[in-house]
Amino acid sequence: MQLENKVAIITGGAGGIGKGIAKAMLKEGAKVVIVDINKDAGQSTMKDLTKFGKTHFILKDISIAEHSTEIIQETIDTFGKLDILINNAHASRQKPFQNTLRDDFDLSFNTGFYPTVNLMQAEEWKQKHPEQYQSMISGIPLGRMGDPEQDIGKAAVFLSSANSSYITGQTIMVDGGTVKLT
Ligand SMILES: NC(=O)c1ccc[n+]([C@@H]2O[C@H](COP(=O)([O-])OP(=O)(O)OC[C@H]3O[C@@H](n4cnc5c(N)ncnc54)[C@H](O)[C@@H]3O)[C@@H](O)[C@H]2O)c1
């Protein structure tokens, strides 16, 4: 059990990759708080996940700045502490760059960048991880799609566990080789 008694917040965990990460973390002993704007998917995911461990669903829109402190507080009220933050939620419209409007950029930044910053700036993290920031990206070319639980989830477990305690400030490409860094 690599994450025994750890408490994780996963934004956008009602489906897709976030749900896969939640499952992988629960199986490693973490308690998981899922934050999502989609009530039906969130409740259905809760039913799927409870058999793997302790979960809690927070129905909130992370693009509203004040919700960040409420999410942190509700997590502490529910599980007594927090250890892991997975900034997974992100909404975007896939369009050719020339047709991308201010409203499209706003959607992307308001659901991705700003909530990530707001949640990471909570006082509770400063006491816990003064220097530590971890992040994760996903995508393709090992010839197959990545599996949310087996591929992304296990990498997230590793980054959240004591086995990665000397890794900090890195972007780990869990993308089957899609992005080439030069
Ligand atoms: N799927 C891929 O191939 C892929 C590739 C590269 C990166 N990513 C990234 O991985 C993450 C998850 O991808 P996914 O495919 O599982 O996405 P998804 O669209 O299936 O899931 C995103 C979740 O975020 C929730 N969400 C959206 N806006 C929200 C808001 N304002 N407040 C709260 N919750 C909100 C949605 O309801 C949904 O449950 C995203 O950040 C995405 O950009 C995905």
Which domains does the chain carry? 7-174 (3.40.50.720)
User: What does the pLDDT average to over 142-155?
Assistant: 90
Distance 13 CA to ligand 1 centre (A): 8
User: What does the pLDDT average to over 132-149?
Assistant: 68
For the stretch 91-112, pLDDT in tens is 999 999 999 999 999 999 999 9
Query: Does ligand 1 lie within 6 Å of residue 14's CB atom?
Result: yes
Say how far apart CA 6 and CA 126 lie, in whole Å.
17
Distances (CA, A) of 110 to 90, 103, 128, 133, 168: 9, 10, 26, 20, 25
For the stretch 43-55, pLDDT in tens is 999 999 999 999 9
Residue whose CA lies nearest to ligand 1 atom number 15:
16
Taking a C-beta distance cutoff of 8 angstroms, is the pair 174, 138 a contact?
yes
At 123 the pLDDT is: 79
Residue whose CA lies nearest to ligand 1 atom number 24:
12
Is residue 14 over pLDDT 50?
yes
Percent of the chain with pLDDT over 90: 75
Q: Which atom of ligand 1 is nearest to the CA of 15?
A: 39
- The separation between the first and the last C-alpha atoms of the chain, rounded to the nearest angstrom, is 36
Mutate to test the pocket of ligand 1, among 35, 39, 66, 138 (most ligand atoms within 8 A of CB): 138
Query: Does ligand 1 lie within 6 Å of residue 18's CB atom?
Result: yes
Query: Does ligand 1 lie within 6 Å of residue 38's CB atom?
Result: yes
- Residue 90, sorted as left (phi over 0), alpha (psi -120 to 50) or beta, turns out to be beta
